[in-house]
């Protein structure tokens, strides 16, 4: 039995949860449920990133005290995660007093690698980072993610000396001690690491009021990323507590847009603190809407609550875990969503359960005992490599295989012909296959897997309401 720590990126609170945010939670949740199925103990962090100018300005715009604003939005994210049926164990808010205190202690521990300097450069408030002159030119002065012009900033900041750790980070990436997934991102990160200047980690108080004050210097406030990244360890109790039970993290889930912070600044912070690097950084693709990243600033956000309310949590999980490739970008359209619901969930799975349960019911069939089965190697290999959408495909092929098997076995003909031994054999093998598929399905669609297990244990009766009623 291992102790496994899984983390998710903590969203900014300058807007409501959108469908894109679900990706981190879902991938982490599949990982967590799978690890628990293997018998491991899982700690699963989620939280909210509550400091910084974007949030401060938004609250100002709405004329709400900023603390009230973040309190309300943090609650919305908690409700959202609950609605997604995601089993996190720890929730951290960067405005928690405990977190703020710990971040200040962390800052003091980083001191040997921090210096003060004056800097002039281009900044994007959307990304909350400076961009290099080269990036500025390549993007013609406009941030491609936020569609906003970069701002010219000149100010005194504290810097984290990334150069102290470049070699160690490079070595950790190349030796796969800190595995970056998908692996094709490795090259890009190594290049960014090479080019990475030291990172500004504070801003003058006049420029950033809503943040954690830098200890021993009243004039500066911590840069949001230092504060935010630290959440992964403050929530475990660092620096007061020994966190070696759960740290290093088994997997940290982030979107590809923020992989650079997790693959460069974060490891530098960890190395400066004398902590191990995470085992794996899993970076997923973006959910697009009309071909563009879904984002509050662009205004093409899909309201997840609408999707959840229409077809329920399991249909939402199904679409995002199977039809959104784990590692590349995918476009969300209602048409694709409805098609996958009707053709796959309703037809392939819902009908299968109904059909097989009806056959069992009519023929008075009950499964006597279910032999313990091993998880198939193909499945565990994909799950261990975090290839979740492909593992889900594998399970779905099994589901479709059972449908084909029933068509071939024709249990209804066996019943008509009175071939009862054969009938029992085929029903038994089909039900066992379905229960096995349900087990493999459980990290993805936990409620559905549970319902299937219930329907086919003891006296079998078809569900009164099919699992996924068709909508067209």
Closer residue to ligand MSP, CB minimum distance, 114 or 235: 235
Binder to ligand MSP among 229, 233, 264, 440 (CB under 6 A)? 229
In this chain, which stretch among 67-75, 115-123, 233-241, 250-258 interacts with ligand MSP, using CB under 6 A? Answer: 250-258
Closer residue to ligand MSP, CB minimum distance, 76 or 451: 76
Closer residue to ligand MSP, CB minimum distance, 9 or 201: 9
Closer residue to ligand MSP, CB minimum distance, 11 or 411: 11
Closer residue to ligand MSP, CB minimum distance, 235 or 441: 235
Binder to ligand MSP among 87, 105, 188, 257 (CB under 6 A)? 257
Quick one: three-class SS letters along the chain? CCEEEEEECCCECCCCCCHHHHHHHHHHHHHHHHHHHCCCEEEEEEEEECCCHHHHHHHHHHCCCHHHHHHHHHHHHHHHHHHCCCCCCEEEECCCHHHHHHHHHHHHHHHHHEEEEEEEEEEECCCCEEECHHHHHHCCCEECCCCEECEEEEEEEEEECHHHCHHHHHHHHHCCCCEEECCCHHHHHHHHHHHCCCEECEEECCCCCCCCECCCCCCEEECHHHHHHCHHHHCCCCCCCCCCCCCCCCEEEEEHHHHHHHHHHHHHHHHHCCCCCCCEEEEECCEEECCEECCCCCCCCCCHHHHHHHHCHHHHHHHHHHHCCCCCCEECCHHHHHHHHHHHHHHHHHHHHHHHHHHHHHCCCCCCCCCCCCCCHHHHHHHHCCCHHHHHHHHHHHHHHHHHHHHHHCHHHHHHCCCHHHHHHHHHHHHHHHHHHHHHHCCCCHHHHHHHHHHCCCCCCCCCCCCCCCCC
* Closest separation in Å from C-beta 92 to ligand MSP: 10
* Closest separation in Å from C-beta 6 to ligand MSP: 14
Closer residue to ligand MSP, CB minimum distance, 92 or 427: 92
Indicate which residues carry an active-site annotation: 18, 21, 124, 127, 143, 146, 293, 296
Footprint of ligand MSP on 6-45 (CB under 6 A): 9-12, 20-21, 23-24
Binder to ligand MSP among 228, 235, 251, 460 (CB under 6 A)? 228
Number of residues forming the site for ligand MSP (CB under 6 A) = 20
* Closest separation in Å from C-beta 304 to ligand MSP: 11
* Closest separation in Å from C-beta 12 to ligand MSP: 4
* Closest separation in Å from C-beta 165 to ligand MSP: 18
Footprint of ligand MSP on 284-343 (CB under 6 A): 286-287, 293-294
Applying CB under 6 A, the residues found at the interface with ligand MSP are 9-12, 20-21, 23-24, 49, 228-229, 231, 254-255, 257-258, 286-287, 293-294
């Amino acid at each position: 039995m291992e102790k496994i720590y899984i983390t998710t990126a903590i969203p900014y609170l300058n807007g409501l949860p959108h469908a894109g945010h679900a990706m981190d939670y879902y991938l982490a949740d599949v990982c967590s449920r799978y690890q628990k199925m293997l018998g491991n103990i899982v700690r699963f962090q989620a939280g909210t990133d509550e400091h910084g100018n974007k949030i401060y300005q938004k609250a100002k715009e709405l004329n709400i005290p900023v603390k009230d604003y973040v309190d309300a939005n943090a609650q919305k994210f908690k409700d959202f995660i609950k609605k997604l049926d995601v089993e996190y164990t720890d929730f951290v808010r960067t405005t928690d007093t405990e977190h703020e205190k710990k971040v200040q202690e962390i800052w003091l521990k980083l001191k040997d690698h921090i210096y003060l300097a004056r800097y002039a450069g281009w900044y994007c408030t959307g990304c909350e980072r400076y961009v290099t002159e080269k990036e500025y030119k390549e993007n013609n002065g406009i941030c491609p993610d936020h569609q906003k012009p970069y701002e010219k900033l000149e100010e005194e900041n504290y810097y984290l000396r990334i150069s102290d750790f470049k070699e160690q980070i490079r070595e950790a990436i190349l030796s796969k001690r800190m595995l970056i997934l998908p692996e094709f991102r490795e090259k890009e990160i190594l290049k960014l690491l090479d080019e990475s200047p030291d990172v500004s980690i504070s801003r003058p108080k006049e420029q950033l009021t809503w943040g954690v004050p830098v200890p021993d210097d009243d004039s500066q406030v911590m840069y949001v990323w230092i504060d935010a990244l630290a959440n992964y360890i403050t929530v475990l109790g660092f620096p007061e507590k020994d966190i070696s039970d759960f740290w290093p993290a088994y997997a940290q889930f982030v979107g590809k847009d923020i992989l650079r912070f997790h693959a460069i600044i974060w490891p530098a912070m960890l190395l400066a603190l004398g902590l191990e690097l995470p085992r794996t950084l899993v970076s997923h693709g973006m959910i697009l809407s009309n071909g563009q990243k879904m984002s509050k600033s662009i205004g093409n956000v899909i309201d997840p609550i609408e999707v959840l309310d229409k077809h329920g949590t399991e249909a939402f999980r199904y679409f995002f875990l199977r039809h959104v490739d784990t590692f590349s970008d995918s476009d969300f359209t209602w048409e694709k969503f409805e098609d996958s619901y009707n053709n796959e969930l309703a037809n392939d799975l819902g009908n299968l359960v109904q059909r097989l349960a009806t056959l069992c019911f009519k023929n008075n069939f009950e499964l006597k005992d279910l032999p313990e089965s091993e998880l198939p190697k193909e499945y565990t290999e994909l799950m261990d490599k975090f290839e979740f959408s492909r593992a889900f495909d594998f399970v779905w092929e099994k589901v479709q295989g059972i449908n084909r098997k029933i068509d071939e076995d024709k249990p209804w003909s066996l019943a008509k012909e009175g071939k009862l031994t054969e009938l029992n054999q085929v029903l038994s093998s089909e039900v066992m296959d379905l229960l096995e598929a349900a087990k493999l399905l459980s990290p993805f669609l936990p409620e559905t897997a549970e319902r299937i297990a219930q329907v086919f244990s003891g006296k079998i009766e078809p569900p009164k309401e099919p699992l996924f009623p068709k909508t067209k």
